[in-house]
Amino acid sequence: MHPYPSPQLEDSFGRRFPYLRLSILDACNFRCSYCLPNGYRAKDGRGKYLDVQEIQRLVSAFARLGMRKLRITGGEPSLRRDLPELISVAAEATGVENVGLTTNGATLHRHLNRWIDAGLTALNVSVDALCPERFERITGHAGLEMLLDAIDQALDSPLRSVKINAVLLRDLNDDQLPKWLEYLRDRNVTVRFIELMQTGDNLEYFQRHHYRAQVLESHLVKEGWQLLDRATDAGPAREYQHRDFRGRIGIIAPYSANFCAGCNRLRVTANGDLRLCLFGETGVPLRPLLQSDDQFSALQATLIRQLGLKRAGHSLHAGETGLIQHFASIGG
Ligand code: SF4
């Protein structure tokens, strides 16, 4: 039961927003071909990211308005040394019931226990292929085996949820389903296949490697996978189960009809801009309102006012990608 009875994060379409995705930096140590193929390059010196106190004020303000699920993203969030402190600040904010992290898992084997001790409850790890050569070709990073071992550790840990994200890429990993099914047979994990989305930087790549997620989804349904009900604060995935498999499969298909009808999440970038939509045209600077506790009501009023301006959905079908240049800039 949420301690603040009347969630106020509601848009003009009646959608509620219990879910905040907070990017804490835009830097990354991978070179994923669909995101940062040439690696991360700091634009002008190191990014001036929100600090612990600013994030504490931000999370409290959202929680007071009805947010109860926070996902920490990047770039690659484990590159911030104060990540455990940020996790505990979020976990201590009254009203937040679920603190999740999306990571490429490069340091998961080293930091998992510290993150859990800090209050982490859910983990999403990016694994775009199950064969080392493909994995390295897509991410520019070796170390798949160590990553899979670390995920098995996470599956044995007290975390409430462990999920794997795999971006669907034509001619790069669209033949990996048999491997994934083998992987899922005896593991209590959800593998979510994410349809590649166009961004400001990847048009040519998108045209070469886009694979419609619904093709995979129809195949799964034909093979007896059954759709599960979706929780109100769940992410955008349609999740499926099958009696022969312990694991589940999720499908994130942003090009599918009505994808945005169930939108329930807001985003804040690493330097404190509110993004009403992943593909939105505007970012609203919140940082000036994160400088003292006296600004709390002004911050909340700004969030409620801005939510009234949220559009019904994205215009990706028209090739409109808004402000997003690549996913490291906002954490997907
Ligand atoms: S594209 Fe925008 S409106 Fe649609 S689900 Fe994502 S954030 Fe919500």
Ligand 1 pocket, CB under 6 A? 236, 259-260, 263, 277-279, 313-314
By the 8 A CB rule, do 287 and 257 touch? no
Give pLDDT tens digits for 115-151: 999 999 999 999 999 999 999 999 999 999 999 999 9
Identify which of 316, 260, 268 has the alpha carbon closest to the alpha carbon of residue 290: 268
CA of 265 to the centre of ligand 1 (A): 8
pLDDT of residue 270: 97
Gap between the Cα atoms of 86 and 74, Å rounded: 13
Sheet holding 226-227, edge to edge: 226-227, 238-241, 248-252, 190-195, 161-168, 122-126, 98-103, 69-73, 19-23, 265-268, 273-275, 284-285
CA of 263 to the centre of ligand 1 (A): 6
Gap between the Cα atoms of 271 and 51, Å rounded: 9
Neighbouring CB atoms inside 10 A of 179's CB total 14
Half-sphere exposure of 139 (CA within 13 A, CB side): 26
Give pLDDT tens digits for 71-96: 999 999 999 999 999 999 999 987 89
Judged against a pLDDT cut of 50, whether residue 6 lies above it is answered with: yes
Whose Cα sits closest to atom 3 in ligand 1?
Answer: 313
Q: Looking at this protein, which amino acid is placed at residue 285? A: P
Q: Which residues contact 178 (CB under 8 A, 6 or more apart)?
A: none
Whose Cα sits closest to atom 7 in ligand 1?
Answer: 277
Query: Which residues in 286-298 are b (16+ Cβ under 10 Å) and which e?
Result: beebbeeeebeee
Angle between helix axes 132-139 and 144-155 (nearest 10 degrees) is: 100
Give pLDDT tens digits for 143-175: 999 999 999 999 999 999 999 999 999 999 999
Name the least confident of 188-202, 223-237, 270-284: 223-237
CA of 150 to the centre of ligand 1 (A): 31
Full-model pTM: 0.94
CA of 301 to the centre of ligand 1 (A): 22
Among 21, 230, 277, the mutation site with the greatest number of ligand 1 atoms within 8 A of its Cβ is 277
Whose Cα sits closest to atom 8 in ligand 1?
Answer: 263
Q: Which CATH architecture has domain 19-329?
A: Alpha-Beta Barrel (3.20)
Q: Which atom of ligand 1 is nearest to the CA of 262?
A: 5
Q: Which atom of ligand 1 is nearest to the CA of 278?
A: 7
pLDDT of residue 329: 86
Q: Which atom of ligand 1 is nearest to the CA of 310?
A: 3
Judged against a pLDDT cut of 60, whether residue 1 lies above it is answered with: no
CA of 280 to the centre of ligand 1 (A): 8
Identify which of 223, 220, 248, 244 has the alpha carbon closest to the alpha carbon of residue 234: 248
With cut-offs at 50, 70 and 90, classify the pLDDT of residue 266. very high
| DSSP bridge pairs for 20 | 70, 266
Among 194, 266, 314, 330, the mutation site with the greatest number of ligand 1 atoms within 8 A of its Cβ is 314
Give pLDDT tens digits for 292-326: 999 999 999 999 999 999 999 999 999 999 989 88
Give pLDDT tens digits for 215-259: 999 999 999 999 998 877 788 999 999 999 999 999 999 999 999
Among 13, 264, 278, 320, the mutation site with the greatest number of ligand 1 atoms within 8 A of its Cβ is 278
CA of 279 to the centre of ligand 1 (A): 7
Name the least confident of 4-13, 20-29, 129-138: 4-13
Give pLDDT tens digits for 36-84: 998 887 755 455 899 999 999 999 999 999 999 999 999 999 999 999 9
Q: Looking at this protein, which amino acid is placed at residue 243? A: R
CA of 313 to the centre of ligand 1 (A): 6
By the 8 A CB rule, do 172 and 139 touch? no
Whose Cα sits closest to atom 4 in ligand 1?
Answer: 260
| DSSP bridge pairs for 163 | 124, 190
**Which single residue is written with the structure tokens 């694994």?**
127
For the chain, the structural domain boundaries read: 19-329
Gap between the Cα atoms of 158 and 122, Å rounded: 9
CA of 234 to the centre of ligand 1 (A): 14
Among 194, 233, 259, the mutation site with the greatest number of ligand 1 atoms within 8 A of its Cβ is 259
